[in-house]
Amino acid sequence: MEFLVTYDVCTETVAGRRRLQRVAKRCQGYGQRVQKSVFECTLGDADLERLKRDLRKEIKESEDSLRIYRLMEPRERYLQVIGQDVAHDLHKPLVV
Protein backbone atom coordinates (compact mmCIF):
# COMPACT_ATOMS: atom_id res chain seq x y z
CA MET A 1 0.00 0.00 0.00
CA GLU A 2 1.17 3.49 -0.73
CA PHE A 3 0.91 6.36 1.73
CA LEU A 4 1.62 10.06 1.86
CA VAL A 5 3.09 11.11 5.21
CA THR A 6 3.03 14.82 6.03
CA TYR A 7 4.00 16.65 9.17
CA ASP A 8 4.17 20.12 10.62
CA VAL A 9 6.42 20.42 13.64
CA CYS A 10 6.50 23.63 15.68
CA THR A 11 10.07 24.94 15.39
CA GLU A 12 9.81 28.02 17.61
CA THR A 13 12.04 26.36 20.21
CA VAL A 14 15.31 24.45 20.09
CA ALA A 15 13.42 21.33 21.21
CA GLY A 16 10.98 21.77 18.32
CA ARG A 17 13.80 22.06 15.79
CA ARG A 18 15.27 18.83 17.18
CA ARG A 19 11.88 17.11 16.91
CA LEU A 20 11.64 18.22 13.28
CA GLN A 21 15.00 16.62 12.49
CA ARG A 22 14.04 13.39 14.26
CA VAL A 23 10.67 13.17 12.49
CA ALA A 24 12.33 13.69 9.10
CA LYS A 25 14.96 11.05 9.86
CA ARG A 26 12.29 8.54 10.91
CA CYS A 27 10.32 9.17 7.71
CA GLN A 28 13.44 8.71 5.57
CA GLY A 29 13.66 5.18 6.89
CA TYR A 30 10.24 4.35 5.46
CA GLY A 31 9.99 6.23 2.16
CA GLN A 32 11.26 8.99 -0.06
CA ARG A 33 11.03 12.71 0.53
CA VAL A 34 9.09 14.50 -2.20
CA GLN A 35 8.85 17.87 -0.42
CA LYS A 36 10.37 19.24 2.77
CA SER A 37 7.76 17.73 5.10
CA VAL A 38 6.16 15.22 2.73
CA PHE A 39 7.17 11.59 2.17
CA GLU A 40 5.80 8.92 -0.14
CA CYS A 41 5.99 5.49 1.47
CA THR A 42 5.19 1.97 0.32
CA LEU A 43 4.22 0.09 3.48
CA GLY A 44 2.65 -3.14 4.56
CA ASP A 45 0.35 -3.24 7.60
CA ALA A 46 3.17 -3.98 10.04
CA ASP A 47 5.42 -1.23 8.66
CA LEU A 48 2.56 1.27 8.80
CA GLU A 49 1.94 0.50 12.46
CA ARG A 50 5.69 0.70 13.19
CA LEU A 51 5.92 4.08 11.41
CA LYS A 52 2.97 5.48 13.37
CA ARG A 53 4.46 4.20 16.64
CA ASP A 54 7.88 5.69 15.81
CA LEU A 55 6.43 9.07 14.85
CA ARG A 56 4.18 9.26 17.92
CA LYS A 57 7.34 8.94 20.02
CA GLU A 58 8.89 11.94 18.24
CA ILE A 59 6.10 14.49 17.96
CA LYS A 60 4.54 16.63 20.66
CA GLU A 61 0.81 16.24 20.01
CA SER A 62 -0.06 19.54 21.68
CA GLU A 63 2.15 21.48 19.19
CA ASP A 64 2.76 19.31 16.12
CA SER A 65 0.63 17.74 13.42
CA LEU A 66 1.09 14.46 11.60
CA ARG A 67 -1.10 13.25 8.71
CA ILE A 68 -0.96 9.93 6.90
CA TYR A 69 -3.01 9.51 3.72
CA ARG A 70 -3.49 6.23 1.92
CA LEU A 71 -2.99 6.83 -1.80
CA MET A 72 -5.32 5.30 -4.34
CA GLU A 73 -3.63 2.77 -6.55
CA PRO A 74 -2.40 2.78 -9.23
CA ARG A 75 -0.80 6.02 -8.09
CA GLU A 76 0.14 7.06 -11.62
CA ARG A 77 -3.55 7.31 -12.47
CA TYR A 78 -4.31 9.72 -9.62
CA LEU A 79 -1.07 11.68 -9.26
CA GLN A 80 -0.36 14.86 -11.18
CA VAL A 81 3.02 16.55 -10.77
CA ILE A 82 3.54 20.11 -11.92
CA GLY A 83 7.16 21.18 -11.83
CA GLN A 84 10.06 19.01 -10.75
CA ASP A 85 9.26 15.37 -10.11
CA VAL A 86 11.72 14.18 -7.49
CA ALA A 87 10.04 10.82 -7.01
CA HIS A 88 11.71 7.56 -7.96
CA ASP A 89 9.83 4.39 -8.78
CA LEU A 90 10.25 2.34 -5.62
CA HIS A 91 9.04 -0.79 -7.40
CA LYS A 92 11.97 -0.86 -9.84
CA PRO A 93 15.57 -1.76 -8.93
CA LEU A 94 17.62 1.20 -7.73
CA VAL A 95 21.13 1.42 -9.12
CA VAL A 96 23.52 3.59 -7.12
Q: How do residues 66-91 score in pLDDT, each as one tens digit?
A: 999 998 877 677 777 777 776 666 55
Q: Is the pTM of this model over 0.85?
A: no
Q: Do 9 and 19 meet the contact criterion of CB atoms below 8 Å apart?
A: yes
DSSP notation for 17-54 = HHHHHHHHHHHHTTEEEEETTEEEEE--HHHHHHHHHH
Residue 33 backbone class (left: φ over 0; alpha: ψ -120 to 50; beta: rest): beta
Q: Do 25 and 58 meet the contact criterion of CB atoms below 8 Å apart?
A: no
Whole-angstrom Cα distance, residue 37 to residue 52? 16
- All domains in the chain, ordered by first residue: 2-77 (3.30.70.240)
Query: Which tens digits make up the pLDDT trace of 39-49?
Result: 999 999 999 99
Query: Which tens digits make up the pLDDT trace of 2-39?
Result: 899 999 999 999 999 999 999 999 999 999 999 999 99
